Amino acid sequence: MSRSEPNSPEHRTVPSPLGTRRGTVNKSSTSDNKRHESLSRLAAVNTDLGSPSATRRSTINTSSVHPPLSNVAAVDTYIHSDPHNLVQLVPALAHLLSTFCLHHPDACLSTWDAHVKPLLESLHTASTQRQQQHADQEQHRPPSPVCDRKPNKSVNVHGETWEDDYAWLTDRDNPDVLKYIQEENDYALTMLEHTKPLQKLLYREFVSRIDEGEHSARVVGQEYRLHCRMRDNQEDIYLDENELSNSPEFEDASYFRLGFLKHSPDGKLIAYGIDSSGNERYTTYFMTMDSDSSTHNVLADRIEGVYEDLEFATDNSVFYTVLDDCERAYKFKRHRLGSDVGSDDLLYHEEDEMFFLSLTKTCDGQYIVLNSSAQITSETRCISTEHPDDPPLLLFPRRENIQYSVESHGKYYYILTNEDSKNNWLFRIPIPSLCKSATGVDLLENRETVIEHRDFVLIEGFELRRNHLIVFERSNCLQNVRIVDLSYDGFNAYHYMSFPETVYSMWPGTVREEERSLAKASQFDTNVFRFTYTSFVQPKQVVDYNMDERVMTVVYEEHIGGYDSDLYTSKRLFATGVDGTTVPVSIVYRRDLLGQVGAGSADHVITDEDEININNATHSNTNLLDICGGIGDGSVLNVADHSNPCLLHAYGAYGAFVNPIFSSARLSLLDRGFIYAAAHVRGGADMGNGWYEEGKLAKKPNTFLDFCSVAEHLCKEGYTTPQKLAIYGRSAGGLLIGAAINMRPDLFAAALTEVPFVDVVNTMFDPSIPWTAFEYEEWGNPADKDIYDVMKTYCPYSNIRGEALARNAYPHLLVVGGMNDPRVAFFEPLKFVAKMRGEKRRARERNSANTTTPTTTTTTDRPHSPTATTTTTTTTTSHYSLANMAGGTCIDTDLPTHSTPRHLLLRIEDAGHGGSSGQYSFLENLAFEYAFIISALGVPGTEPHHLPTAAFPPSSPSSTRRRRNTATATPKTQQQQQPQPLRPHAGDATDSTESLDSTSGWVQHQQQQQPQQHGDAGTAAAAAATHRRKKRGQPPDLLSDVDEKEYRRKAKGDRGPSTLFQ
C-alpha cells in the first residue's frame, strides 16, 4: 500500500470552495388576482408552451417537472407547495414572455410597463440589498485563526539550512496544537454557516438516491450494513454492523469500519476485522457459522494490529500479516484457532523497510500467495492450502524493477510480469518444476508464453476459471477484456467482450470485498465471469457473462431514485500538453444544461451597464438563468457567456487509473449545471505504464503541467471559464491540487483537497513517517540532489506565494485532513494552511509598511533555501519556474487583485484516510463540501433542475429493517429487479428479437421487436452491432493477435462489426 487510495474501484467525487452567497428570486408584491391575470394572458399565446416540444433544446424538459403554464391554478399550487419551485419555472417563463412579444408586438410596451419593469426593479432592489448584506457580513467576518511561528532550523544532506516555522504542529499531544485545530474547525463551520440550508438540501438529495435494497442490505436510517444468508427461505442476519458499532467495546469510538470479512472454505467460520480509529490497524475476530443454528458465537481468539489481508487454509488455520510502527505489513504469521495468539508461527519477516507484505488466494483455492513488494519490485512465495504446515516456497526472488503476479490452474502456474517489458506479458510454467527448487533459479526454463508484450496494450491483471482465462487490458484509456478458451490447444482461441459505451469502467466481481471473495471461490468451476459495469451515466450493474454462449445477464442493477439517464451524456476530450503530449479528459454533463447555467464573478456587482444587459436580454430569446447569474449575490452573467461551472478532478500517481464511475451524489452538481471532468494525467497508467513513468520521480512536474493544460483546454473550448472552474484531489491527488494552485492561482476559482500530501520535501526527508521509505520509488529520495532540486520546485508547502495570497489571487480553498490518517499525517494539511495564513499576513504587513518597496520574501523558512542565513530575494525565485511552463506568471504583481477575500478553510476530522466511516455521516460531510463548491462558484439557484421526488427517509434513525414492497412497485421498477440477459458483440447476423433498453445500457431479450430508445449514442451503436455466436459446439476461429490498428479503432469509440472484438 501507499499514500494511494485504499483498495476500491470507486472514486469519491467531492467538491470544494466558497465565495458568494446565493438567494432566491423575490416574488412580486402584486395580488393573487393580478398574478393570475398576467399568467393567463401570457399563457394564451401557446397553451402548451410548458411541453418539451415548445421549449428550445437548451432549456430543461419541463413537462415532467412542473405543470403547464396554461393551468395557472396548478402553477400557483406548485409554487406555494415549495417556493423554490419558481427556479424550475424561469426557463419556461422566459420563453413564454419572448413568444408573447413576438406574436403581440403592439403589447410590448404595456407588458414592459405593467409587468417586466416592476419585476426587474424588484429584483435589482433585492440584489442590492443582498449585496449590502454580503458586504456587511464580510466586514464583520470573524478573524481567521492565527498560528504562532516557532523557528526550527534543520540542515539537510546537501548542506542547506532552513527554518520550518510550523514543524511544532506535528506533535499531536501538544495542547496548543489541539487548540489550533479546534479553532480552524470552528472557523470553517462559521464561514460556511450561510450554506446550511443548501447543505440540508444536498443531504436530502443524496439520501433520496440511496439504494437501500442493494445486495448487502442496510437498515433505513442506520449507518452500517447487515450481512445475511438464507436458510430454508428464512433470512439469517449473522452480522449486524450497526449493533456491533453500538456494543460496549465500540460505542465510545469516534470511528468504526469493518475492513474485511472472510469465510472459511467449509463455511463454518468467518473472520472479520474492525478499525475503531481510522488508522487501518484491524483487530480480527472469529465467529462460528453453524448451519444448524441461527445463533453465532464469537470465539475468544482475537488478533491485534492486523492488516486487511487474511486467508483461511483448508483446515481453517489462518494466515495473516501484522503491521509495524510505520504501518507497514512486515510479518507473515499462521494462527490455529483456540491457540494462544502470542505463540503464532512466524513464517516470514520482511526486514527491508521499502517492502511490504500482501496475501492473496489463487482462483482455484489451492495456494496462498505471499507477495513482498516495493513500488516496482516484488518477491513471491506460496503455501499450499492443503498442506498449511509446509514452509512458504520461494517462487520468484526479488529482482530490481521486476514484478510478478501468480495464479494456479491445474498443472500450471500462470504468471503476469513486467520482465523485459513495459506493459506486462503473461506466461505459464508447470507446477512440478517449481517444486524441484526452492531457490527459483530454474523456474523460468520451462515457461510458455500465453500473451506477448505489446507496446500499445497494458495488461492490468487476469483471472482463471476451469476452462477459461480472463485477461484485463487497457489501451488508449479504454478497458478491454480478452476471454481465452483453455479447452483448445494453444491460446489463440479467444474473443474480446464488447461494452455499450466509449467512456465506462468495469472490474471483476462486485463492489463489496465479501461478495468478491465468495464469488472468486464459487465460480472457478463455472463458465461464468461475474463483473461490475458502470459509467458516468450508468449506475452500477452486476453482470454474469457466459463465456461459452457469450451472453450477458444483469443480475443486479443499482436503483437511483428519480434518475433519468437520457438527461446526461459523457464523452472523452483530448487536451494538448505544454510539451505537445495529448492528455485525455473524460467529462459528463446534463445535455439540456450545457451552455445554459453559469456563475457570475464573485467580485462583480450590478452596474448601470449590467442593467442595460438585463434590459436587452429580456427582449431576446434568452434563458433568464443566463441573465441573473448568482441570484442574491449581485453577480450578472454576460448574455453571450454560455460556459458552465465545472469540477475538475485528477489523481496522477502510483500508476493508478481514474475510472469513469457513476456517482449518485454527483447528480446534485450535474443537475445544477455543472460539468464534471476527470483528467487522465501522466503519473497514472490510463495510457499504459509509459504514461506512469512519465509522471514520477524527476518527471513528476509533468503531472501538474498536464492538469493545467486540461483546465486551459476546457476553458478554451468553451465548457467553462477560470471564474467557474473548481478543482478537487485527495491524498497524492491533493499534492496535485496544491502544486496547481501555486503554479496557476489565476486558472481556478475554487479548490478542494482532502488528506493532501503537501509537505513533500520534509516528509521524504523523514524516514520515521509511515510509508516514507516505500515512497522513494514513486517520488524519489531527496538525498539525491537531482531529485531534491526537482522536488522543491513543486512541493506545495515550499512554494506558497504570500504576495498572491495577499492580493486574493488564489482560489477559494477548503482543506480536509484526518486526525488518525496513517497514510498522510494530520499535520501535513495543518501546516499547509497555517503557513498560507502566515505568508498572507506577512505579505500584507510588508505592503502596508512600504508600498513602494519591491516585494521580497525570505527563503529561510523553505526547505530549499540556498544558504543558512536569511536572504532577501525577489518573488521570481527558482521554485516558481513551473508557473511559466504552465502558462502562468511567476511574478505575483502580474496576477489580478480581487476585492473579495478568498476563503481559506481547514477541517481536521477525527477519522482516517478514507474519511467518515458511516454512510450518513459521510453524506453530511459531502454535503458540506458540495455546498462549499457551489457557494464559491456562485452557481444560481439552490434547487437543482428536476429534483427527484422520491420519499426521504425518517429524520431519526429507524431500527426497523426496510424491505421492498414489490406489490406496489412500478412496472419499470419490477422489471429492473429481474435478472435480464445481455448479449455481447459476436460477429454473426443480428437477432431480430433484440432491442435496446436505455435505462440499463445493455441489449436485452424481448418477446418482439421494439423501437429503439433514445439513449446514449455509444449504447445505440453497440446495439446495432450486437450479434450472437451460432453454435457453441464448433471450435472458434483461431485468431491472430490483436494488432495496434484494431485497438486504436476501438479506443476511438468504433463499435462496428469486428473479427477480433466479438
Is the pLDDT reported for residue 683 higher than 60?
yes
Cα torsion 806, 811, 814, 816 to 10°: value is -100
Pairing of strands 725-730, 646-649: parallel
Instruction: Report whether pLDDT(679) > 60.
Output: yes
- Strand, coil or helix: 942: coil
Residue 907's DSSP bridge partners are 816
Judged by average pLDDT, the poorest of 416-420, 552-556, 1000-1004 is 1000-1004
Number of C-beta neighbours around residue 653 at 10 A: 28
> In the structure grid, which three cell numbers stand for residue 251, read together?
460505542
> Is the Cβ–Cβ distance between 704 and 886 less than 8 Å?
yes
CA pair distance 604, 771, nearest whole angstrom:
46
For the ranges 9-18, 149-158, 410-419, which has the lowest average pLDDT? Answer: 9-18
**C-alpha angle 82/76/935, rounded to 5°?**
35
Amino acid at position 240, single letter: D
User: Which is more confident, 155 or 830?
Assistant: 830
Q: What pLDDT, on a 0 to 100 scale, did the predictor assign at position 226?
A: 82
Give the closest residue to 677 by CA, choosing from 731, 724, 635, 637. Answer: 724
What pLDDT is stored for residue 86 in this prediction?
81
- Grid cell, residue 633, equals 449575490
Identify the residue with better confidence: 714 or 820: 714
Q: What are phi and psi of 577, to 5 degrees?
A: -75, 175
Residue 8 has pLDDT above 70, yes or no: no
Start-to-end CA span in the chain (Å): 36
Task: Please give the residue that has the higher pLDDT: either 134 or 623.
Answer: 134
**pLDDT of amino acid 419:** 93
- In whole angstroms, how far apart are CA 317 and each of 364, 537, 645, 727, 849? 18, 44, 55, 48, 73
In terms of pLDDT, which residue wins out, 3 or 598? Answer: 3
pLDDT band, residue 888 (cuts 50/70/90) = confident
pLDDT at residue number 993: 27
Q: What stretch of H or E contains 779?
A: helix 772-779
Strands of the sheet with 412-417, listed across from one edge = 404-409, 412-417, 425-430, 448-451
Q: Which residues contact 497 (CB under 8 A, 6 or more apart)?
A: 480, 481, 483, 545, 984, 985
**By percentage, how much of the chain surpasses pLDDT 90?**
46
Higher pLDDT, 861 or 291: 291
- Grid coordinates representing 335 are 494462527
166 within 8 A of 151, measured Cβ to Cβ: no
Residue 718 φ/ψ region, left for φ over 0, alpha for ψ in the -120 to 50 degree band, beta for the rest: left
Weakest-pLDDT range from 659-668, 752-761, 942-951: 942-951
Q: Among residues 81, 59, 62, 82, which one has the least CA distance to residue 70?
A: 62
865: phi then psi, degrees, rounded to nearest 5: -60, 135
Please state, in angstroms and rounded to a whole number, the distance separating the CA atoms of residues 777 and 774.
7
More confident residue, 455 or 982: 455
> How do residues 94-139 score in pLDDT, each as one tens digit?
888 888 898 888 889 999 989 888 988 888 888 787 777 666 666 6
The distance from CA 629 to its chain's CA centroid, rounded to whole angstroms, is: 28
* Top-confidence residue, 872 or 902: 902
pLDDT of residue 19: 32
Nearby residues of 460 by Cβ (< 8 Å), 6 or more positions away = 424, 472, 473, 474
> For the residues 68-75, what does the mean pLDDT come to?
87
Note whether 303 and 341 are within 8 A (CB). Answer: yes
- Which SS3 state, helix, strand or coil, does residue 550 take? coil
Taking residues 796-814, report their average pLDDT: 95
Mean pLDDT, the chain, whole residue set:
76
1007: DSSP letter = S
Distance CA(1055)–CA(501), nearest Å, equals 9
Beta bridge mates, 554: 543, 980
Mean pLDDT of 950-964: 33
Cell numbers 442590492 correspond to 128
In DSSP notation, 953-998 reads PPSS---SPP---TTSS-HHHHHHHS-EEE----SSPPPTTEEEET
Host H or E run for residue 789? helix 785-794
| CA-based nearest residue to 135, from 900, 902, 937, 934 | 900
- Banded pLDDT at 163 (limits 50, 70, 90): confident
**Model confidence at 299: pLDDT above 80:** yes
Secondary structure (3-state) at 89: helix
User: Is-contact 593 246, C-beta < 8 A?
Assistant: no
The yes-or-no verdict on residue 492 having pLDDT over 50 is yes
**Would you say residue 83 has pLDDT above 60?**
yes
> For residue 745, which amino acid is it?
P
Q: How confident is the model at residue 971 (pLDDT cuts 50, 70, 90)?
A: very low
Q: Tell me the C-alpha to C-alpha distance, in Å, between residue 526 and each of 403, 530, 1029.
A: 30, 11, 19
Across the strands, what pairs with 257?
Answer: 275
Q: pTM for the whole thing?
A: 0.72
Q: What is the DSSP string of 601-616?
A: -TT----HHHHHHHHH
pLDDT at 979 over 70: no
Q: For residues 464 and 524, is the Cβ–Cβ distance under 8 A?
A: yes
Helix (H, G, I), strand (E, B) or coil at 567: helix
Contact by Cβ (8 Å): 669, 15: yes
At residue 936 the predicted structure's pLDDT band, cuts being 50, 70 and 90, is very high
pLDDT of residue 53: 33
Q: Which of 830, 829, 822, 760 is nearest to 791 (CA)?
A: 760
For residues 770 and 354, give the distance between their C-alpha atoms in angstroms, rounded to a whole number.
11
Q: The C-alpha cell of 999 is what?
A: 435505462
Tell me: the pLDDT tens digits for 558-586? 989 889 999 999 999 999 999 999 999 99
Q: Which residues pair with 553 in a beta bridge?
A: 544, 981
Find, among 347, 301, 345, 304, the residue nearest to 322 by Cα. Answer: 304
Report whether 931 contacts 195 (CB < 8 A).
yes
Confidence check: pLDDT of 548 > 50: yes
Sign of CA dihedral 194, 195, 199, 202: positive
Tally of residues, the chain = 1062
All structural domains of the chain with their residue ranges: 21-132+604-633, 222-323+330-335, 350-444, 565-598+643-937
Q: Is a pLDDT exceeding 80 seen at residue 1047? A: no
pLDDT score at 259: 83
List Cα–Cα distances, 119 to 22, 186, 643, in angstroms: 19, 40, 26
**What's the rounded Cα separation, in Å, for the pair 721 and 642?**
10
Of 896, 885, 731, the C-alpha closest to 811 is 896
Give the whole-angstrom CA distance, residue 862 versus residue 759: 11
Residue 603 phi/psi, 5-degree rounding, is: -90, -5
Query: Distance between CA 382 and CA 403 in Å, rounded?
Result: 15
CA distance 131 to 633: 6
Per the CB < 8 A criterion, the answer to whether 1006 and 1026 are in contact is: no
Q: Find how far residue 56's CA is from the centre of its chain.
A: 34
Is the pLDDT higher at 1060 or at 147? 147
229, three cell numbers: 444468508
Dist. CA 415–CA 434, nearest whole Å: 13
Strands (E) located in 492-651: 494-496, 504-508, 528-535, 541-546, 551-557, 568-576, 582-590, 646-649
Question: pLDDT at position 212, please?
Answer: 56
Average pLDDT over residues 358-383: 93
- The fold adopted by the segment(s) 565-598+643-937 is Rossmann fold (3.40.50)
**The pLDDT of residue 442:** 62
Min mean pLDDT across 138-142, 747-751, 817-821, 966-970 is at 966-970
| Rounded Cα distance, 176 and 178, in Å | 5
Cell numbers of 578, please? 505544454
From residue 884, alpha-carbon distances to 519, 576, 695 in Å are 52, 16, 19
- The predicted-structure confidence for 856-871, as pLDDT tens digits, reads as follows 433 333 333 333 333 3
Strand, coil or helix: 952: coil
357 against 911, higher pLDDT = 357
Q: Are 262 and 318 in contact (CB under 8 A)?
A: no
Count of CB atoms situated within 10 Å of the CB of 862: 23
Specify whether the CB–CB gap between 313 and 385 falls below 8 A. yes
